[in-house]
Chain A
Amino acid sequence: MTRALRNTFIGASIERREDLRFLRGRGTYVDDLQVLGLLYAVILRSSVAHGRVRSIDVSGALKIEGVHAVITAKDMTSKDYPSGVPIVPMRLQPLPEFLPYEQPVIAYEKVRYVGEPIAVVLAASVAIGEDALEQIAVEIEELPAVATWQEASKNQSVLFDVTGTNRSLTFEARKGDADAAFKDAPYTRRERMRTGRHYGLTMEPRGVMAEWDAANNKLTVSGASKVPFVNRRILAKQIGLSETDIELIENDVGGGYGARGEFYPEDFLIPFAAKHVNRPVKWIEDRRENLMAMNHARETEADLEIACHRDGTIIALRGEMYTDMGAYMRTNGAVGARNAPQFLTGPYRVPHHKVDSHLWMTNKTPVGTYRGPGRFEGSFYMERLLDMVAADLGIDRIELRRRNLIGKAEHPYKLATAQPTNAHDQTDSGDYEETLDRCLKEFNYADVSKLGGKLIDGKYHGIGVACFIEGGAAGPKESARLEVNDDGTITVYLGTSSVGQGVETIYAQIAADALEVPMERIRHVYHGSTGLVSDGYGAYHSRSVVMGGSAVLDATQKFLGLLREAAGKRLGCAESNVTLDVDKVIGGGVSLPLKEFAGLTAEGAFLNHKHTYSYGTHATHITVDARLGHIQILDYVVVQDVGRAINPLTVRGQVIGSLVQGLGGAVLEDLKYDAQGQFLTGSLADYLLPTASDFPNLRCFVTDDHPSPINPLGAKGAGEGGIVAAGGCMANAVANALQTFHVEPRALPLSPAYIWELLQAGRK
């Protein structure tokens, strides 16, 4: 700990600052921006899953009144790229093996998924632009579509001729010697399971507005979120400008969930268009586009084997995973396929671990991260296996988990290492059994569990339990800056971004606590735009509180140091005698108003290469209507320990919010394609999201009994714990409810059709 904080605001459920504008319709999202001379971009997207582009004739579109220009690959002549068309590089795991699979910003030789950009129309209105799309003649020679990983693995139809294979990589998660451990294992079980295709659907579709100031050689791009500094670096290289010539501006952002704010093709196309025609250009995605253009996620299949002692102690895990990657390796596309094998073991002690994860390219929308990437999938596989093991060995499933949870004295506990990225990881702190016990108590498990499998009023009751860990706090660095305003208040500037989680409030809490001033003295918290601090890393991997918050803490210390130095000179006293008292600087028996120091600024940073692991337990009580396959949740309890809750109100918001997303993935959501790679779920009537009436009975309990030792706040990332264990918990509850039919769900989502199918098979 750097310093004992005078704890006034940290730990308090403080109402959010952001709400004052959002609730009155005064937020400013990117589509709310308007400038003179604006052109609207509309994108022609491929309706063919796999094919060679033979010709694109835009002359018909150009004849329409109000159409200003149509941009295709031919307009791109960047010398830095062999084809002239820029490529979107990977941000995470940028391995050389992935290079051939990275996405060009616009299709030029081949189209590889339905939804891939082919042309950009710039028009006086969106409506005119959409009219013009119909007048663009595109000739595509269709190739056999690869619509599943199994089809991809045949390598008969290959997406990338240059590599000749559809497999972009295999990650290897390793610990101990699993094969040797399996040889002597008294009990083993092997299962094949799969998860559906989901995505981090944000309520606000993506949008970009770009303004090119030719006179000053300045490109301003609004609509940034998540990782503005990285995206600026990517754009600078693609468009041939220096980073200082580009400013990325973060506006209010209508949700992130891992998907929004990565660098997408449109993040080049719109700035390029603005520069190309020397006019401001805005593009706002519609929902149909969003469903087929924003990163997909989750679709994996696993063939896993577990080895245990007769008392249920886990000895080893091994097997294979297969991820349906879609058509390109996007900025963070490898994360899910790497995390799933590496973090499969969750909070459990597994001495030997060997899982290979194969990345298969298919003619579908490319994948990226979605809240709890790979962890939701891994948790589903692991938790299902544990319930099956418990039944096989005649051990109570809670007892089985208890036996295998990593003990509080075992931290830091080493997890499997993922190759070829040499990704090491270890837990940080916590008492995993404590949250299990608390959850069982809140859930009244002792009584409720007696209902498991019972048929009451035509419905089968089922109980599910799942334990989880949630990784957070990705490094390497975050920056923060404090500055005195001319009215004596203080502004905080951050290198992280907001995706709606409430960071303006949380950073103000941390800064006010550290400076020992009322929260109102922290006048503004600005974040996410590239002009505010020297460097920034953004909002992902549940890192904002730990990384950004610790950077704020460091900035406050640097700030106080500079203030003491400056004030000491003016007050004529030793620096060590200077104190800040709300709006005054006091020393040597005299004081100066803080506003006398207007402009005084200090930048701080937090560097970190370790991860935090918040953890907890889910328990659910459901009923299944065996005639309809319909699931109803009667009670669902999540207990999560977050190390230190800065604002319990917003932490609970994260837990329940991510839980409902997880329940959507467990029960409702699935992005579907047919065998020709045609996208079948192009509207919100097809891709089902949870609504207010779906899951009414959810409870969460946030604890902060075990601070993280790796950051001065003791906080742990907490944005994903609700989602991680939802699939496993729900599937275990279904198995428990339908035990008389020997039903064992091995796939998500648990749709009525799937449950009915399982029941029919069980009745035979």
Chain B
Amino acid sequence: MPVKFEVNGKSVEVEVEPRLTLADCLRHYLRLTGTHVGCEHGVCGACTVLIDGAAVRSCLTLAVQAEGAKVTTVEGLSLEEGLTPLQASFRKHHALQCGFCTPGMITTAHALLSEEPDCDADRVREVLSGNICRCTGYISIVEAVLDARSSYKKTMP
């Protein structure tokens, strides 16, 4: 069946089977491979994307559920050149090693900081506890997110 939605600011229309997940649609139909699939049962968070600004597991969302929505992936949260302040903070704090969970961390952290630029370490940990990282031990990720807060405050109206 056809589904029409917006991805990273561009309108897309895809013919999909009803059972196709949004993750597979993004990765294999739209070739946005920055979104990673780590467990396909909603535990690891690697596939997190933003749907109308909210962090959502794209492995537990069907592509057809995105009808009419605004979907943002890690590619949509990136610049043509260089790093965003959030990404630069991840790099500075060595908040990634193998990089596989990283897109989910970036999307989740972006959603959090956009809503709550004053969040504290406990809140960051609470929100990120839905994203599994097997390399870093999380300490550096939490530091990176906290350190990026200032850049989100500035963009607040």
Contacts and interface: CB of A to CB of B under 8 A. Distances in A.
Contacts of A501: 97
B90 A23 contact: yes
A6 B47 CA distance: 44
Interface in A24-40: 24-29, 31-32, 34
Interface string B5-45: 00000000000010110000001100111111111110110
A205 B36 CA distance: 10
A235 interface: no
A29 B100 CA distance: 8
Nearest to B107: A25
B14 to A, nearest CB: 15
A502 B129 CA distance: 25
B38 A24 contact: no
A204 B136 contact: no
Give the interface residue-count category, chain B.
Answer: 35 or more
A180 interface: no
A689 B134 contact: yes
Nearest to A502: B97
B31 A34 contact: yes
Nearest to A27: B99
A653 B90 CA distance: 12
A19 B101 CA distance: 12
A1 interface: no
Contacts of A15: 91-92, 94
A252 interface: yes
Contacts of A18: 99
B87 A656 contact: no
Given A31-B37, A692-B128, A254 B92 contact: no
B137 A657 contact: yes
A744 to B, nearest CB: 28
Interface string A698-731: 1000000000000000000000001000000000
Contacts of A286: 40
Interface string B88-108: 001110101111111100100
B149 to A, nearest CB: 16
A254 B137 contact: no
Contact of B98 (A204, A287, A661, A692): A204
Contact of B139 (A27, A201, A205, A656): A656
B70 interface: no
Interface in B93-137: 94, 96-103, 106, 121, 124-126, 128-137
B153 to A, nearest CB: 21
B141 interface: yes
B140 A201 contact: no
Contacts of B142: 692, 696
Contacts of B101: 203
A32 B139 CA distance: 29
B136 A653 contact: yes
Report, as a range, how many residues of chain A touch the other chain: 35 or more
Contacts of B44: 203, 287, 684
Q: Which of A24, A252, A691, A694 has the most CB of B within 10 A?
A: A24
B147 interface: no
Contacts of A257: 134
B41 A203 contact: no
A201 B134 contact: yes
Contacts of B39: 287, 683-684
Given A19-B91, A25-B78, A684 B132 contact: yes
Interface string B71-87: 00111001100010001
B96 A698 contact: no
A572 interface: no
A427 to B, nearest CB: 27
B98 A500 contact: yes
Given A31-B37, A684-B43, A25 B103 contact: yes
Contacts of B97: 255, 500-502, 653, 657
A252 B134 contact: no
B138 interface: yes
Contacts of B124: 692
Given A23-B106, A684-B43, A696-B121, A204 B91 contact: no
Given A203-B98, A692-B142, A29 B36 contact: yes
Nearest to A205: B38
B9 to A, nearest CB: 15
Contacts of B103: 25
A692 B141 contact: yes
Given A22-B102, A25-B75, A25-B78, A204 B36 contact: yes
13 contacts: A25-B35, A25-B73, A25-B78, A127-B20, A203-B38, A203-B100, A287-B41, A500-B98, A653-B94, A660-B137, A683-B39, A691-B129, A693-B125
Given A27-B99, A254-B36, 6 more contacts: A20-B83, A25-B103, A28-B33, A658-B137, A659-B137, A692-B125
Q: What are the nearest 7 A-B pairs in CB distance?
A: A25-B34, A500-B98, A22-B99, A254-B100, A660-B137, A25-B74, A684-B43
Interface of A: 15-16, 18-29, 31-32, 34, 127, 201-205, 252-257, 286-287, 499-502, 649-650, 652-653, 656-661, 683-685, 689-696, 698, 722
